[in-house]
Amino acid sequence: MQAMMAPLTPPPQGLALASKSSPWSVIWRMLGIVLLLYTIVQTMILSLFGIVEGDGFLTVTSLVCSIPLLMVFFFARRPKLTHVIMASPNPNGKMQHMLPDSRALITPVPTNFSHHLIKDSPPLEMPPTSTLWVVFSLTVITAFLGLLPAMLSDNPLWLILAVLVGVPAWLFGFSLPVHAWWAFSTRHFQLMTTKIEGEKMLIAGMLSTFPAIVINSLLFPLLLIIIGINSLEPGSIGEFLILTVSAPVGEELCKAAFVLSLYKLIDSPKRGFQIGFSVGLGFALLENLQYIMGSFSGLAVSYSLTTVIRGIGSIPGHALWTGLSGVSIGWYLCTKRGIYVKDNSNLDNTTWVVFDGATGQLVNTQRELSSMGKTVRGWLYKPFDKVWSLPRNPAIGISLAIIGHALWNGSSWFVSWLFIEQDIVVQVVANLFWIAVMIVTLWVIGREILAAVMHLPS
């Protein structure tokens, strides 16, 4: 009589499998996902505009087109599962166990048999931060030189060169700074993070752009029209309100909501900041895609300035502000759950098993994981008694994020409005000067925040 096959059971607690992968693989994967999500978001926005305009054809067509895109997204996000078979020696066990597909496992001694489906969960590994910044810098320089001739001549050959240079410059220009900050944060926070968890954080930030776009592009403009503010032209009060009210409030609330959606991952205040930081980067990744795309209207100069300014200013700004929301949410959740441990003893006890996906053989786990949890000190380190106190109440944390975002947008608008009647050269110089002031201020504040993060319970 044929023995029955044992049913699948949950894997032992603390066991994680990880296939060997390239540190660059997560970057290419996120690049593909952000392009897909950008297309989905634009399609869904069209369907909403169709509803507002009463255009049923546009709404239906947009929704129909979004279905295959959503299917591709969910297919790309499917977990990679490994069938693990375990046989433990036991005098009361059996020597023959049935396996799927009419197979059998025969052991030389009696064993207890169990088998499980385990998600492939390698640690999040990123290329060195310095490498990403070097590649980004080379991208900007190459793009400037490749786009410059098209600004000076109408020769079709220069236009062809501009297109050939522009496409990779766009892809690398909008994505590499985000991944450089992500790689930095992965090492700086010293938290063991799986690739699956890291991707969830970044994708949550990308998804938060959809409700934010609806608020900024549809709901708030309609509200302004209702109260009698019809002008959204540059320099108008309508533009000012969108930049200082709609964008900061709508975007920070949306990002905070998606940080909260990852509550299962938040096991400490430091983890809360990490998730907030990564969600902010995910939001900036999709937003940056559109800004860098629009910068090509001015070719070499506008592309280079926009790419660099956003890479060192807007992107870390999004991450830091949402990090404040995240750390406050982290404090709140951990306090409610009673898992806050002052001595940082709440450590990750997962047993990592790393194997080569091609051969199925185990690899040297010490070598593969040696890059994780490196201590990042230097100018970002401060003694505990000299660091800032980060917000513990979500209302305060989110409010600080909104205020920081509003000051960035509002002061930029005010400087542009102040010099709107001046010569174009004066306008450009004034705006660049103020942007430099804001970036320096952001970096000073960011240094204090990141130094304080290192002392948070983890």
When pLDDT is cut at 50, 70 and 90, the band that residue 1 belongs to is very low
What pLDDT sits at residue 342? 55
Mean pLDDT for 83-92 is 85
pLDDT greater than 50 at residue 375: no
- The more confident residue out of 117 and 197 is 197
Residue 417's CB is within 10 A of a number of other CB atoms, namely: 14
Q: What share of the chain is helix, strand, coil (3-state, %, to 5)?
A: 65, 10, 25
pLDDT greater than 70 at residue 388: yes
The H-or-E segment that residue 168 falls in is helix 156-188
pLDDT one-digit tens code per residue, 17-38:
666 777 888 999 999 999 999 9
Helix, strand, or coil (residue 90): strand
pLDDT-above-70 percentage for the chain: 89
What pLDDT sits at residue 379? 67
What pLDDT sits at residue 136? 96
**Hey, which bits of 179-249 come out as E strands?**
none
Rounded to whole angstroms, the Cα distance separating 391 from 403 reads: 14
Residue 455's CB is within 10 A of a number of other CB atoms, namely: 18
Rounded to whole angstroms, the Cα distance separating 435 from 184 reads: 23
Rounded to whole angstroms, the Cα distance separating 166 from 302 reads: 13
Task: Find out whether 400 and 324 touch, Cβ atoms under 8 Å.
Answer: yes
Name the β-bridge partners of 84: 116
Helix, strand, or coil (residue 321): helix
pLDDT greater than 60 at residue 412: yes
Choice among 89-93, 369-373, 435-439 with the minimum mean pLDDT: 369-373
Rounded to whole angstroms, the Cα distance separating 135 from 258 reads: 31
pLDDT greater than 50 at residue 374: no
When pLDDT is cut at 50, 70 and 90, the band that residue 115 belongs to is confident
Mean pLDDT for 440-447 is 95
